[in-house]
Structure 1
């Protein structure tokens, strides 16, 4: 029982830490302003958004991994979306979303050495996910309450794909992201914004 109480206490501390980070976040545009308010509402709701048990909406973390010269971004060709996209995944019980983002980079690309460029998030977004089949099970349409972190890594280090999730992983030149991604909304509203933000944090 004591161990359980300690775990719950740790959860609450991490939840409050994330909430404070999001409350302190300075939106750069109207999309971030509106999505920030929604994220705060979801966290304060008391609902379980840190696991996939909440099939309507749950927390996810993304990593925008750039090369030291900011000319390349680490991306994966995701099987579900049939598109080159950033790396990231579900919180699955973990409120420390930067830790989740780092974990997802390693799982999806095999890259074991990444350096967060700041502790705070670099971007916030509410993402819609269309219904799809995953490992033989239908996943209904839902929301990803997403927090993105900026990271840097050596583009010369070995990487590999994760066949059950992606069919390729590569360092994509910044100027080619718009051609590689088949998701125009992401290119226009997310990826272009992240490329600009990465340049300001050199």
Structure 2
């Protein structure tokens, strides 16, 4: 399932073309690509959670990255990338009414993760081979902080959220997606 989604993905730019090539080669060579036990890297699924008008985005303040960021997580063996993205969005924000804008991958990125301590254990430097999905949520759903993962959950205007992102390496990832979201909004008018 995940192999087909990546294989069918149409890159939006040169960065995605190169990252997708890396992801496809990694999957081909690593039967454990869906598991964190592959210490070099593994597949992850993230989401840009938008309101119905696609003017606001739901971000969480993540402990590890010390920044406002998208939601998502490790697949831990689950080949259904979209299912993982939706599950993570619900777990990390508390929103209950979440639907995919599409069942196709929205963006792809290979993200370097610096070594850190999680749950008292050392996690070495590695890569997240990430598929991101576009999700639509009810902005009136109550938000809940998942204290194990984050210390805040908040709706931001898409046009302003980048000012709250302190993780410089993620800004190009987000800006690329925001540009694509703006294209969708213009098509819907």
For each residue in 1:150-201, what CA deviation from the matched residue of structure 2 results, as whole angstroms up to 9, or x when unmatched? 01111111111101110000111112222100112211x2111111222333
- Aligned with 2:46: secondary structure? strand
Counterpart for residue 13 of structure 1: none
Q: Equivalents in 2 of 1:143, 1:21: separation in Å?
A: 19
Distance 1:23 1:115, change over 3 A: same
Pick aligned residue for 1:48 from 32, 42, 46? 32
Taking structure 2 as the reference length, what is the TM-score of the superposition?
A: 0.94
Tell me if 1:129 matches 2:113: yes
Residue segments in structure 1 that go unaligned for 5+ positions in a row: 1-16
Counterpart for residue 3 of structure 1: none
What pairs up with 1:137-152 in 2 under 5 angstroms?
137-152=121-136
Counterpart for residue 162 of structure 1: 146
Aligned-residue CA RMSD (Å):
1.1
CA contact 2:61–2:69 (8 Å) conserved in 1: yes
Pick aligned residue for 1:179 from 150, 155, 163? 163
Taking structure 1 as the reference length, what is the TM-score of the superposition?
A: 0.88
- Aligned with 2:111: secondary structure? strand
